[in-house]
Copies of this chain bind each other. A is one copy, B any other.
Amino acid sequence: MTTTLPAADPSAARAQFRAGLTVPSSGWAPGYTQANLVVLPRDWAYDMLLFGQRNPQPVPLLDVTDAGSHRTVLAPDADLRTDLPRYRVWRDGECVDEPTDVTDLWGPDLVAFLIGCSFSFETALLDAGVPVRNIEQGRNVSMYRTDRECRPAGRLSGPLVVSMRPVPGSLVATAVQVTGRMPQVHGAPVHVGAPAGLGIADLARPDFGDPVELADGDVPVFWACGVTPQAALMASRPPFAITHAPGHMFVTDVPDAVYRQP
């Protein structure tokens, strides 16, 4: 039996995913940045690029490929068509398939967007002594649609989606400072405390991910979330799109420290 212990090296991790291993990428190549993937036809790429420029907290663009290319500067030897553990294929805003390889769907017209991911700042929070409850509880982070609209861009619009992490009151300031230094992976929180301030009715019922429990003295802290562009795709219904499957990210060669400002 071959091992599925997470590879420490980004290239080795991608090779295992390329060979067919289909597991969430959390814990793989620790210390290296993982990225959300959105792939769109060239006709929609301008709107997506503008959506990122106008909404940098939920949509921090780490790289945008040339049309038709399956290569990214974030990992020069990677193949974006095969190296993620699992993809989602969207037609007219509906998820129609979850393949592990999209080579046969790739064409000269497609542009890939690689978007910063909160995995990078969870490592930084842990390094700073801030507990990350979703990791402690072995759950996916809780995510919520808010009543805040993103700034629209052409045909793309949709709500800001946030992730919530419970943080002990004495460590909220540390959590703000640590993540505030990482604007390319969502940056500082958009809201601290009362969920109603974002139009969230019930923390125990997230729109995406799992419920995560607050310990005594924890405050809910909300960060802009990389699911925001997927929510915009669902709302705006481009004829075709490919994304990563939730939790099954693209592992880059870029150390997290590159996105940590002094």
Copies of this chain assembled into the complex: 2
**Which of A49, A54, A180 has the most chain B CB atoms inside 10 A of its CB?**
A49
The 8 closest A-B pairs by CB, nearest first: A46-B46, A49-B49, A53-B61, A53-B64, A50-B64, A49-B50, A49-B53, A180-B262
Interface residues of A (CB under 8 A from B): 45-46, 49-50, 52-54, 61, 64, 66, 73, 151, 154, 177, 180, 183, 261-262
Q: Which residues of B contact A177 (CB under 8 A)?
A: 262
- The residues of B that contact A64 with a CB separation of less than 8 Å are 50, 53-54
Q: In whole angstroms, how far apart are the Cα atoms of A50 and B262 in the complex?
A: 26
B contact residues around A180 at 8 Å (CB): 261-262
CB-nearest residue of chain B to A66: B154
Neighbouring B residues of A66 by C-beta, 8 Å: 154
Known: A49-B49, A50-B64. 9 other contacts (CB 8 A): A45-B46, A46-B46, A49-B50, A49-B53, A52-B53, A53-B61, A53-B64, A66-B154, A261-B261
